[in-house]
Chain A
Amino acid sequence: MRFELLLPRSLPEALEMKKTHGEKAGVLAGGTDLLVLLKDQKLKAEVVMSLSGIRELNFIRDEKERGVTLGALATHGSVAASPIIRQQFPDLAEACFQVSCVQIQNLGTVGGNLCNASPAADAAPPLLLADAILILASTRGERSVSIHDFFLAPRQTVLKPDEILKEIFIPEVSGRRGATYLKLGRRRAMEIAIVGVGVAVHLNGSDQVASKCRIALGSVAPTPLRARKAEGILTGQEITDQLIEEAAEVAAKEASPISDIRGGAEYRLDMIRVLCRRAARAALARAQGKQVEV
């Protein structure tokens, strides 16, 4: 592992550097993915630009009435512990709390988790559920990209060579919403998800009819994905156990898992069904105002 290290002290300085070095410059946030890849020589970088000196990127901001913004350097640990996130997006807090272990949560950032573009990124499903907007910055200006359009393939995103992820904006949710993220691993800590499932249920009026529903899956396709057909099944109808069952079946059909060291494709399909059912029940109960531990 050998490279030149850039230590910008401000965002404009970082953007100038990224413009100069483009693809050659690996962007270092928490380092829990990038440094491991560089050490294993799975990735080569002539230049590494550390964002650690840019304090303006390390924040979690309550935008009142509008939503919540996470700076690119907000760590999994700080997001999991944030009262704003725990209250408004408990599924995101749950996902961040299930990342690896305390040490990794204190280093790894949610922004880095997204830019690394692993299909197993724990932070991705909750942010898909919440229709998060990613703010990408370059010397040319800023652009907003929906998280639904951000991932292209394993380790590939729409980030241009001169861009960096600056912020993640999570829009305010109106009305009653319940959500959860469930992660399947062989053990509680130090795990990469075999399957991750997030479900959000929005209620408007009736306690049993979802006005809107979101289902997001991790580790079962080349990118984190939404199970849109399954969402459709749970929307606008009275949610019964049978309907949840049906939605879980359809969600599994929307996935395209591979077999790897962590689990077989068939097992993953089966586990999508199981986790979908559990997550949907918990999300509904939370939307109804019940306290549910998952």
Chain B
Amino acid sequence: MKIPVRLKVNGEIYDVVIAPYRTLVDVLREEIRLIGTKKGCDVGDCGACTVLLDGKPVNACLILAATVQDAEILTIEGLAANGKLHPLQEAFIKEGAVQCGFCVPGILMSLKALLDTNPTPTLEETKWAMAGNLCRCTGYTKMFKAVETATRRT
């Protein structure tokens, strides 16, 4: 039996009717059609589905959509504000930190959460913040560089 669920994503309210066992990543992608959030392993190992729940990075594949109706959800689509890219996004472009791009939405969400609480992280802090995000192109070095660039600017 499907149930009505109300989600607040990137400041917008979305009303969907879904099976109660559907995960947030599936509902974001298949119902709300925000496909920036990626689905990789689906068991919390790869971090591709990372979104911010009340400002904190979490795996959207390990959350039942019906259980986060009171929360503010931020996805990669909500990262740019007023038509302007987030400094992290600009830095990723500038430093060529994107290869295939599949992991990047998740990584940017993890890094946004890091910079929100720690505007000038050390390399070790950046690595720890990204430890739950796998990049199969193994392109971490340029991402670290991009964080450096972004934090110098802000």
Flag whether B56 is at the interface (Cβ < 8 A): yes
**A residues less than 8 Å from B14 (CB atoms):** none
B43-51, B95-103, B138-146 - the one binding chain A = B43-51
Flag whether B89 is at the interface (Cβ < 8 A): no
B32-40, B63-71, B74-82 - the one binding chain A = B63-71
Establish whether residues B64 and A5, one from each chain, have CB atoms under 8 Å apart when the complex forms.
Answer: yes
Establish whether residues B64 and A188, one from each chain, have CB atoms under 8 Å apart when the complex forms.
Answer: no
User: Which residues of A line the B interface, CB within 8 A?
Assistant: 1-5, 7, 28, 30-32, 35-36, 39-40, 48, 50, 52-53, 77, 100-104, 106-107, 188-190
Establish whether residues A189 and B68, one from each chain, have CB atoms under 8 Å apart when the complex forms.
Answer: no
User: Chain B's interface: helix, strand, loop or mixed, by majority?
Assistant: mixed
Q: Complex: how many Å from CA A64 to CA B124?
A: 35
Flag whether B129 is at the interface (Cβ < 8 A): yes
Q: Complex: how many Å from CA A267 to CA B55?
A: 41
**B residues less than 8 Å from A2 (CB atoms):** 19, 21
**A residues less than 8 Å from B1 (CB atoms):** 4
Establish whether residues B58 and A107, one from each chain, have CB atoms under 8 Å apart when the complex forms.
Answer: yes
Given known A31-B62, A36-B62, A103-B44, contact A48–B21 (CB-CB < 8 A): yes
**A residues less than 8 Å from B21 (CB atoms):** 1-3, 5, 48
Establish whether residues A39 and B128, one from each chain, have CB atoms under 8 Å apart when the complex forms.
Answer: no
Q: Which of B91-143 contact A (CB under 8 A)?
A: 110, 113, 128-129, 131-132
Establish whether residues B56 and A77, one from each chain, have CB atoms under 8 Å apart when the complex forms.
Answer: yes
Establish whether residues B132 and A189, one from each chain, have CB atoms under 8 Å apart when the complex forms.
Answer: yes
| Residue in A2, A31, A40 with the greatest tally of chain B CB atoms within 10 Å | A31
**Distance (whole angstroms) from the CB of B140 to the closest CB of chain A:** 13
Q: Complex: how many Å from CA A40 to CA B42?
A: 10
Establish whether residues B43 and A103, one from each chain, have CB atoms under 8 Å apart when the complex forms.
Answer: no
Establish whether residues A106 and B53, one from each chain, have CB atoms under 8 Å apart when the complex forms.
Answer: yes
**B residues less than 8 Å from A188 (CB atoms):** 128, 131
- Residue in B closest to A81 when the chains form the complex, CB atoms: B117
Q: List 8 A-B contacts (CB under 8 A).
A: A4-B20, A5-B67, A32-B62, A77-B56, A102-B128, A103-B59, A104-B44, A190-B131
Q: Complex: how many Å from CA A174 to CA B47?
A: 42
- Residue in A closest to B3 when the chains form the complex, CB atoms: A5
Given known A5-B3, A106-B57, contact A35–B23 (CB-CB < 8 A): yes
Q: Complex: how many Å from CA A140 to CA B50?
A: 40
Cβ contact of A101, chosen from B23, B42, B132, cutoff 8 A: B132
Cβ contact of B64, chosen from A35, A40, A77, cutoff 8 A: A35
Q: Complex: how many Å from CA A2 to CA B23?
A: 11
Q: Complex: how many Å from CA A107 to CA B58?
A: 7
Q: Complex: how many Å from CA A3 to CA B113?
A: 33
**Distance (whole angstroms) from the CB of B74 to the closest CB of chain A:** 13
Given known A77-B56, A107-B58, A188-B131, contact A102–B110 (CB-CB < 8 A): yes
Cβ contact of A107, chosen from B20, B59, B131, cutoff 8 A: B59
**B residues less than 8 Å from A104 (CB atoms):** 44, 59, 62, 132
Cβ contact of A52, chosen from B3, B44, B68, B129, cutoff 8 A: B68
**A residues less than 8 Å from B131 (CB atoms):** 101-102, 188-190
**Distance (whole angstroms) from the CB of A37 to the closest CB of chain B:** 10
Q: Complex: how many Å from CA A175 to CA B62?
A: 42
Task: Bits for B21-32, please: 1 = Cβ < 8 Å to A, else 0.
Answer: 101000000000
**Distance (whole angstroms) from the CB of A39 to the closest CB of chain B:** 6
Beyond A32-B44, A101-B47, A106-B58, list 6 extra A-B contacts (CB 8 Å). Answer: A3-B21, A4-B1, A104-B44, A106-B57, A107-B63, A190-B132
Given known A32-B44, A107-B59, A190-B45, contact A7–B66 (CB-CB < 8 A): yes
